[in-house]
Amino acid sequence: MFGAGNFARRDALVFWRPDTDGSWPWLEMWVTTRLGGTSPEPFASLNLGAATGDAPAHVEANRALVRRSLQLEHLPLHRLRQVHGDRVLRAGDAAEPEADGLWTDTPGEVLVVGVADCVPVFLWDTAGRRLALVHAGWRGTAAGIVARSIERLGARGTAPSDLHVALGPSIGPCCYAVGPEVAAALPDAVRPTPAGQTHLDLRDANRRQALALGVPAAHIFATPPCTACDGTHFFSHRKLGPRTGRHWALAWMTQAGPGTPQAGAGGTGWRSTR
């Protein structure tokens, strides 16, 4: 059902998105790339992270470009203070949410997480029209954040058999060398290399969580681009160090379930939830 994902140009910006073959026209899932923004090196050019050392004016200009390109000017963007944990909140439940995952069942609520090697995980219920977006670093993965997300959706009536999961651009096992602490936290995801290094398959660790909670294997897309390999499109904290940019993963529903009026396109006529 899933392809390898694809790149799409919107105005001057380039985005990545899972290739869902148009199966769910009510669902939008995007990850920004580093192309098309205003920031100079080493943040060139679409840096969306405010705590990177980039000039605040560049970051704000880049965020405005993303909102404009995806036609989100009239929709609420729900963001988090990410702490590498397993907390998953309903969008809008906290004024200054400290967590690493968001979920919603309301069309027009835009979920946002920041990433630069960690895995952005999209989860959506095709029957009940619910959506979650998770930031999964190794600590959050070890704490079970994908499992917590599935449990939160399940508490609202989502059956695992109705869930689909897509992992966004993130560091792959090809490039993710780790030390003993990380390897001990996620032993099933350890991949020894011929050179004697220990690498971690963070994508597979999150895939396994979804499988363990009952999501069908055919519903899981787990082979996105590696952020460390593809320096043309992506920032990589592991490869480039702390003075590099950050991406946004964004997800929202453009309409509700059957019998509910459909939201309009292009940000005009979309129902704002605030």
Domains and CATH numbers, the chain: 6-253 (3.60.140.10)
- Short-list 38, 136, 132, 120, CA closest to 83: 136
Asked if 233 and 33 count as a contact pair (C-beta separation under 8 A), the reply is: yes
At 141, give phi and psi (nearest 5°): -65, -45
How confident is the model over 230-244, as pLDDT tens digits?
A: 999 999 999 999 899
Beta bridge partners, 7, equal 16
What's the token pair of residue 168?
């966004």
- Tell me if the pTM is above 0.85: yes
How confident is the model over 176-217, as pLDDT tens digits?
A: 999 999 999 999 999 999 999 999 999 999 999 999 999 999
pLDDT of 262 > 50? The answer is no
Asked if 49 and 116 count as a contact pair (C-beta separation under 8 A), the reply is: yes
pLDDT of 227 > 50? The answer is yes
pLDDT of 266 > 80? The answer is no
